[in-house]
Structures are given as C-alpha cells and as structure tokens.
Structure 1
Amino acid sequence: MTGVFFTLVVLFAGTFAFLNGFRDASASVALAVRTRALTPTVGVLLAALFNFIGAALSAAFALTVSHAWVTVPSGDGGLTILLSGLISAVIWGVYTWRRGIPSSSTHALVGGLAGAGLASLVLGGPGVGGVDNSMLFQVVLPLLISPIIAFVGAYLLVWPATWAARYTPPNVVNSRSRRIQAVAAGAVAFAHGLQDGQRTSAILLLALLASGQTDGTSMPMWVALLTAAMLTVGTLAGGWRISHTIGYRMARMDPLRGFVAQIYSSLILLLGAIGLHWPISTTHTVTTATLGAGSNQPFPETNRRLVLRILSFWVLTPIVTAAAGLVLALALSPLRSS
C-alpha cells in the first residue's frame, strides 16, 4: 500500500496547493482591484505570475522548513499521517471559501498533522516529531503575534503617509497611490508564493522520506515545479469570494490606505520567508493590515460583526482540522501494511 498512499499524498498535496492559490493568492490583489489600481483580469494575471516565481524559488527554503518543521515515521504510518493532514486542510479550506472567510492554510495543515499524529499514538505507533514546537511557533504564536503586528503597523503608517501627502491634490495622491499599489500587489503575490510554496514542497519531501525515495539532502525539481504550477493554476481560477470579503466587506479603503496595507504586508511576509524562515500566514497578514489601515481614518467603516466572525474562524481552524485529521487517520489505519 506504500505506493498507493504516496500517490494519494502527491494528489492531495497538489490539491492543497491549488486551493491555496485559489483562496489566498487572489486576495493579494483584492485591495488593488478595490481601489481600481488594477482590473480584475490584470490583477489575477499579475498575482499568478509573481506567485509562480515565488513558489518556484521557495524550494530553496523548503529543505530548511522540512528539517525544522515536523518529522513523520517511515512507511505507511507516516504517509497516512500526511494524507490525513492534507485531506483535513483541503476540506476546511473549501468550507471557509464557501463562507467567504479568509483563513490560514498553514494553520489548517499543521492542525491536521497534529490530529493525525495523535491518532497514530492512540493506535500504539509513533507520532509526529516536533509537532509541539510546530504548533507553538506556527499556529499559536503567529495567530497571536503576526496579526497584531500587521494591524498596529498598518494603522501607524497611515499617519506619515497622509502627512507626506497633505499638500498634494487628492486626485494626484490617488493616482500615485494606485501606481505604488500595483507594485505592492505583485510583491504580496511573490511573498505568498515564497511562504506557502514552502509548505507544499516540505510535505512532498516528507512523503519522499517516509516512502524511502530520498535521503532528504536535496529537493527534486518535480516537487518545486508541481508546487509552483498548482499554486499558479489555483490563482488563475480565482477565488473571488475571499477577495470580495477583504476588498469590499471588511472596511472602507481608499488608494492611499490600500498601498500602505499592501506594502507593509509584503515587507512582513518577505521578512518572515527570507530573513527569519518563519511561517507567516499571508491571509492573516493581509486581512489585519487592511483592517489596521482602514481603521485609521476620520470616519472608519469597519464591519465589526464580520471581523468577529473571521477571528472566530481563525481560532477554530487548528482545532477543527486537528479533529478531522484524528478521525481520518483512524479511518485509514486498517488499510496500512503491517
């Protein structure tokens, strides 16, 4: 069954990458479309291009992520854990997309792996190594810290931006802001590819390790290309439900505040991916930066009810996917080779 489980892991890893691009990458240009810096068609094409570049380059960091992230047991046990975690993350991703709620794919994946690892322990097998640190540094701390940093930073940066534009006619400010925002949208899409491409590539590398097909010292080219291709195809398919939530439903946004939110989001994501090798949720960063910039204006219009709903889904994501991963791993256990 090892070959069957490995094939299923590759299939669902590709599905996870597609859904990631479908849900998240188009959100990188949501504000640019909202403020008419880009048309929807140009925005999606821009996001797809830079997302592909970022995801292709992310393979260089995926080796580090796979070694510092989690370890799974070899054989069918490890492949079952990976498969259960992926399926739970995919199901939750589809559900949150249907609801138009921006949520973290990384948090869903780590939660699913944690639940599947617990199932392995219940059955008397080895669990997921490093899952405690992974849950702490990739779920709990980012859930608490990165949204706060994104919100506060974007809120504060509105003041110097508006001060610098105080003597400039509004139409000129809007025109310049839209040009900067178009560049910033590409930067966010590139950072998204770097950040989220690492996760899919790392999962595939763990599957290769579990099935005994690699020693983990190098990243196969097909892994990087599959990850980049599926993220890009997902982006081109366009998950506009979540983009509409970020761009139109959460807060009123003008071009100046839009470029502040996107520039700041891209800096946080690039710093996390390249400088700190820290997994930071693109969804959480863009969403909270948008709220921060949109809240700093004389007459803010923030949909507080929607914001509270989004926050509740963020808290529920690792909990629900862990439960789903646990159930799926238990259900798949009779199919494993002894």
Structure 2
Amino acid sequence: MTIALSVAVVVVTSVFGFLNGFRDASNAVGLTVRTRALTPSIAVVLAAFFNVIGALTSAWLLNYFGGSWLKTPDGGRGLVLLLAGVAAGSLWNVYLWWRGYPSSSTHALVGGIAGASIAAVLTGHSPQAGVADVLWLQVWLPLILSPLLAFGAAFFLTSLVTWLARYRQPSEAHAALRASQSVGTAAVAFGHGLQDGQRIIAVLVLATLGSRADWSAVPPWIVGVAAAALGLGTLAGGWRITYTLSHRLVRTDPLRGFVSQAVTTVMLFFGALWLHWPLSTTHTVAASILGAGSNQDFAAVKGNLLARLVAFWIATPLATALLGLILGLALDPLARF
C-alpha cells in the first residue's frame, strides 16, 4: 500500500505541476500578447521553454527550501497527508481557472497540506510541527507584502519610464518597449519556474524519499518530472486567466506592460535568490499590472473585478485547507494499511 500511495502522490503532484503551468502561463504571456509584442503561439512556446529552464535551475535552491518546508512523517500517514493536500490544491486551481481568476498555486498547496495536517490530528495522530510558521512565512506574509511592493514599485516606475521616453515619438517608444517585452516574457517565465519548481520538486522528494532526504542531491528524474509538468502545462495555456489579466482587469499599453514585467522579474529573482521567500508569481504580476495601470489620467482599473480577485486570494489558503481537511479525513484509512 505504501508503494501505491507513493505512486499516487507522484501522479497527483505531476497533475498539480501541469495545472500550475497551465494557469500561470498567463503571468508570462498575458501582457506580451495584449500589446502584440508576440503572437500567442510564440509567446507560449517561449514561456514554456524558460519555465522548464527555471524549474531545472530551482533544484540547487532546494538545500535551503527543503529545510523550511513542512515536515511530513514517513510512511503511509505522510503520504496520505501529501495526497490530500496536493489534491485539494489541484481541485481549487481547476475551479479558479474555470472562473477565470488568477491565484497562487503555492498558497493553494500550502493551505491543502495544512488542512490535511489538521485532519491527521483529528484522527488521533500527533500534530505536525511548524504548521503555523509555514502558513505565516509562506502564505500570509508574502500575501500581504508582495502585492503592496509590486503595486508601489510599478506605479512609481511608470512615471520614471514615461519621463525617460518623453522626447521619443509614441510609435518609436512602443516599438522598443514591445521588443523589451519579449525578453520580459522569458524572464518572468524563468522566475516562475525558479519559484514554483521548488514546491513541486519538494513534494516529489517527500513522496519518494521521505523527510530525511538529502536536499542537496535530488535525483534527476524528480527534477525532470517537475520541469516537464510545468512546461507541458504552459504549452496548453490557461487562456481564461490570460484574458482576465490582460483585458478585463486594467487597460494597458507597451510601456505599462514593460514596467509590470520588469517589476515582476526583479521581485521573483530577489525573493528566490536572496530572501528565499516563496513569492507568488500571480500576485506579483497582477499587482504590478494594477500599479502600472493606475498611473494614468483616466480610470483604468475595474474595481469590482479587483475586489473579487483579492477576495479569492484571501480565500485560497482557507478553501484549500478545508478541502485538505475533508480529503485527509476521507483518505485516513489508507494510512493504516
């Protein structure tokens, strides 16, 4: 039964990785397609390639991330916990994709595992250490800080870029900015793979090697599975969310698209390489789009849609925790075999 559970976790985690790339493709390609810097097909292929490269590169960051990840017990109980948590995150991600709302896959995953940990306590197992710390450091603190930083940076950087381009013809400036957006698409996709690849690889390591695994020597096949799942999902492209970010949420142009991608790239690299923070690509992209779009002389942001978007951001870890709790209770008998 333990081997069957391990295989099930690997399969469900691969599906989660596919959905991660499928939904978050919009973060890299939405603005580029909206401003016609690239065609949709070229933008998606470019994003998929650099998503894979980012996921492969993220393996060397696991030595830090593995130590900060929620520890799971070895054996059937730990596998059931992972299975319930990842399945909860996947179900929520599908629901929000169907609604067309971008949200954090990382927050969905952490919330699901936290709910499954609560289910383990309710069924008589000892509580998992560090659940509260993981929720605070990987969900609530980044949820509060990263959108505020991205919004503020994009708002003020838009004024700076506008001032720098003040003597250039709009058509000339937009042509240069569209070319820069092609690089921005690759950078955002690489940063996404660098951030989210870690989470997918970490779950696969826990499912196959246990919590005592050597995080500095992850088997290549695990890294390959995570990278392939992200890449294939990106190629599939979640266009519902792309439309929300690039058309419904805020009016934008090549200048503001460039600013948003620049802010997102810097924050993702800064968070992953220096602070080791699990910054949400979705939150960072959406907030930077809002910041750049708000720096206009006319109303550009759709307030009602923004309110629903923020509500779903807050609801994501809570909803997946509830789903993880329910699935954890339902799957608990499997841990006894």
Give the structure-2-normalised TM-score: 0.98
How far apart, CA to CA, are the structure 1 residues paired with 2:223 and 2:299? Answer: 43
Is the 8 Å Cα contact of residues 151 and 292 (structure 1) preserved in structure 2? yes
**SS in structure 2 at match of 1:140:** helix
2:147 equivalent in structure 1: 147
Counterpart residue type for residue 209 of structure 1: L
Query: How far is the alpha carbon of 1:27 from its aligned partner?
Result: 2.4
Report the equivalent of 1:98: 98
Distance 2:216 2:254 in 1: 46
Superimposed CA distance per residue, residues 233-264 of structure 1 (whole angstroms, 9 cap, x where no aligned partner): 00001111101100111111010011001011
Structure 1: stretches of 5+ with no match in the other structure: none
Q: CA deviation at 1:62?
A: 2.2
2:185 paired with 1:185? yes
SS of 1:284's equivalent in the other structure is helix
Q: Take 2:216 and 2:304, find their aligned partners in 1: how far apart are those partners?
A: 48
Q: Which residue of 2 aligns with 1:307?
A: 306
Which position in structure 1 is the counterpart of 2:315? 316
User: How many correspondences in the alignment?
Assistant: 337
Distance in 2 between residues matched to 1:211 and 1:270, nearest whole Å: 27
232-241 vs 296-305, which deviates more?
Answer: 296-305
Whichever residue aligns with residue 126 of structure 1, its letter is: S
Assess if the C-alpha contact under 8 Å between 2:104 and 2:283 holds in 1.
yes
Alpha-carbon offset, residue 127 of structure 1: 3.1
Q: How far apart in 2 are the matches of 1:68 and 1:95?
A: 29
- The equivalent residue for 2:238 is 239
* Structure 1, 293-302 or 279-288: larger mean CA deviation: 293-302
- Equivalent residue number for residue 270 of structure 1: 269
Tell me by how many angstroms 1:208 deviates. Answer: 2.4
1:216 deviates by 4.7
For residues 62 and 241 of structure 2, the distance between their equivalents in structure 1, rounded to whole angstroms, comes to: 27
Matched ranges for 1:134-213 at <5 A: 134-210=134-210
CA distance in 2: counterparts of 1:264 and 1:182, whole angstroms: 15
1:284-303 counterparts in 2 under 5 A? 284-303=283-302
Q: CA RMSD in A?
A: 1.2
| 1:6-45 alignment runs, 5 A limit | 6-45=6-45
Letter in 2 for 1:273: A
Whether 1:109 and 2:109 are equivalent positions in the alignment is yes
2:178 and 2:256 map into 1 onto residues whose CA distance is: 10
* Aligned residues of 1:250 and 1:307 also touching (Cα < 8 A): yes
CA deviations 1:273-330 (Å, max 9, x no partner) are 1122110000000001000000101113211111101000001101110011011011
State the 1:63 CA deviation: 3.3
Alignment correspondent of 1:229: 228
| Inter-partner Cα distance in structure 2 for 1:337 and 1:94 | 30
What is the CA–CA distance in structure 2 between the aligned matches of 1:258 and 1:48, rounded to whole Å? 19
The residue type paired with residue 168 of structure 2 is T
In 1, Cα distance between equivalents of 2:303 and 2:26 = 23
- Three-state SS of the structure 1 residue aligned to 2:336 is coil
What is the rounded CA distance, in whole Å, between the counterparts of 1:157 and 1:242 in structure 2? Answer: 25
Which 4+ stretches in 1 moved above 4 angstroms?
214-217
Percent of matched pairs sharing the same residue: 50
Q: Normalized against structure 1, the TM-score is what? A: 0.97
